[in-house]
Amino acid sequence: MAVERTSWWMPPGSIEVRTVAAGGWWDAVRAPLDLGVQALWHLGDDSGAVIRDGFGGRLYWMVPPGSAAGWDMPLVRVLGRGSHVVVPPVHRVMGPGLCWQIPPTREREWTDPSRLRAALRTALLSEASRTA
């Protein structure tokens, strides 16, 4: 049985949620759950690790540090240096509460920021056309 390698910030045996500083190993892109689910659908297999906050109704993508710093999109927030993200243990893939929508693995840690931005913009446009 192969053991998945995860970053040092995500120890494999951890059973507790952890608060991790953004801006070091990754930045996080936060979106409301409804918008995030649409963006995930548009990303398909191109999404990296995603945290689902079932109580707060949000999704968080990991992207390379600084890669989304200039983004200005409604409802979307980039969390970089000076921000912290609560991270579930790698084995927690079901709610309630905080869990991995897509757990991090060696092949799937970061999401490509240009693809994520395009998926979020498409989801925002879809949302706007539904409410118009």
Domain boundaries, the chain: 18-131
The string of pLDDT tens digits covering residues 60-113 is 999 999 999 999 999 999 999 999 999 999 889 998 899 999 998 877 889 999
What pLDDT score was predicted for residue 8? Answer: 53
pTM for this predicted structure: 0.89
The string of pLDDT tens digits covering residues 19-28 is 999 999 899 9
The string of pLDDT tens digits covering residues 101-120 is 999 887 788 999 999 999 99
Give the 3-state DSSP-derived string for 34-67, with helices as H, strands as E and coil as C: HHHHHHHHHHHHHCCCEEEECCCCEEEEEECCCC
